[in-house]
Amino acid sequence: MLGVEFPICAFSHCRDVVAAVTNAGGLGVLGAVAHTPQRLETELTWIEEQTGGKPYGVDLLLPPKYVGADSGGIDGKQARELLPEKHRRFVDDLLTRYGIPVSSDEEQQPVADLNISPKGYEPLLDVVFSHRIRLIASALGSPPAELVTRAHAGDVLVAALAGTTHHARQHAAAGVDLIVAQGTEAGGHTGQVATMVLVPEVVDAMAPVPVLAAGGIARGRQIAAALALGAEGVWCGSVWLTTEEAETLPVVKDKFLAAGSSDTVRSRSLTGKPARMLRTAWTDEWERPDSPDPLGMPLQSALIGDPQRRINRAAAHADANARDLATYFVGQVVGSMNKVQPTASVVLEMVSEFIDTIGRLDDLVER
């Protein structure tokens, strides 16, 4: 269906990872929600040059609920004008308490908008559909009818991530070709039901729509487990964040390499919707009883965009407080991400361990 050798989809914001997974026999999927159309054009052209006709995909966020949904969406400037004084003060105070330097004038350009509304994502779709992608995925929300029609007209498959069977049913009704059933252990936006429970439930409810498993999958044993649960393949994101190719901030990459599986938390502090990330001083600050509730999407990312950039810049300069604060999306598999290696090696180790696992299971039954 996907035209790949191994049923491994790799979500990454980094084009090098996308190309490397596709070249290794899987399907690289570029997370493009914060790209400008110009940058996306450049990235997709580069990926196609690197992968020579092999299949790859693109991923967007298409949430049904967000601030400004009634009017077709708001841009970053409008979002920043809507930020409550209380939230601005909370973040300013947080940065002051941790002694994070202010940005220079030059750095104070607006950070990238999240293109979650039609106004934002339609220009991206024009770029996407002018390229020969194999898959377009929605990591949040069911894809709109126009997107599905346009994709199918170009022989592009449509996938959507679901954290509940209810969401999977909505995606199927919207006409998707593939459901990605994502358990709570996943990095990024995620629900509360674990992969072990969610996958067979979605597989049974959605048959014959094929299901990929996501959440908690970083190695071959977990791929075998996902296929045992009834998935046709897997969707992995976190495991690529510590590859050689990943553009993960070095301080965050170091924290990922050192972290254990208990060191993540589901937090609304980066995007306004619950997303799993490394637990750090940043997430702790947002959990304090006197902290404000995070804002809705896209206001929260507008609120924390510049502060996050300040934190990451200071952390890169070895500022101890900034390093305490620095965080990023990652799943519970961070506990098994203990060394930096090439993306292609990760894929090949996954496949090798998967095959060994199937052999081990088969021996069990024959014994």
Residues lying near its own copies in the complex (CB under 8 A) are found at 164-165, 183-185, 191-198, 200-201, 215-217, 219, 221-222, 224-230, 260-262, 331-333, 335-336, 355, 357-359, 361-362, 364-365
Nearer to its own copies, 131 or 268 (CB): 268
Nearer to its own copies, 321 or 336 (CB): 336
Partner residues linked to 280 by β-bridges: none
For the bound state, the minimum distance from the C-beta of residue 72 to its own copies, rounded and expressed in Å, comes to 31
Tokens representing 37 are 């159309």
Residue 299 DSSP SS3: helix
Nearest CA to 31 out of 117, 166, 139 is that of 139
Nearer to its own copies, 74 or 198 (CB): 198
- Do 13 and 335 contact (CB within 8 A), yes or no? no
For the bound state, the minimum distance from the C-beta of residue 241 to its own copies, rounded and expressed in Å, comes to 15
Question: Kind and range of the H or E element at 286?
Answer: helix 281-287
Nearer to its own copies, 16 or 185 (CB): 185
For the bound state, the minimum distance from the C-beta of residue 183 to its own copies, rounded and expressed in Å, comes to 6
For the bound state, the minimum distance from the C-beta of residue 159 to its own copies, rounded and expressed in Å, comes to 20
**Nearest-angstrom CA–CA distance, 340 and 245:** 9
In order, the DSSP letters of 89-138 are HHHHHHHHHTTPPPPPGGGGSPPPPP--SHHHHHHHHHHHTTTT-SEEEE
In order, the DSSP letters of 159-204 are EEEESSHHHHHHHHHTT-SEEEEE-TTSSEE--SS-HHHHHHHHHH
Strands 56-60 and 135-138: parallel
For residue 318, what is the DSSP state? T
Nearer to its own copies, 52 or 208 (CB): 208
| Cα–Cα distance list, 268 to 29, 56, 90, 100, 301 (Å) | 24, 30, 15, 22, 10
For the bound state, the minimum distance from the C-beta of residue 145 to its own copies, rounded and expressed in Å, comes to 27
Q: Nearest 5°: CA angle at 216, between 212 and 217?
A: 60
Nearer to its own copies, 184 or 312 (CB): 184
In order, the DSSP letters of 231-282 are -SEEEE-GGGGGBTT----HHHHHHHHH--TTSEEEESTTTSS-EEEE--HH
Nearer to its own copies, 37 or 200 (CB): 200
Residue 10 DSSP SS3: strand
For the bound state, the minimum distance from the C-beta of residue 325 to its own copies, rounded and expressed in Å, comes to 22
For the bound state, the minimum distance from the C-beta of residue 220 to its own copies, rounded and expressed in Å, comes to 9
Nearer to its own copies, 183 or 188 (CB): 183
For the bound state, the minimum distance from the C-beta of residue 356 to its own copies, rounded and expressed in Å, comes to 10
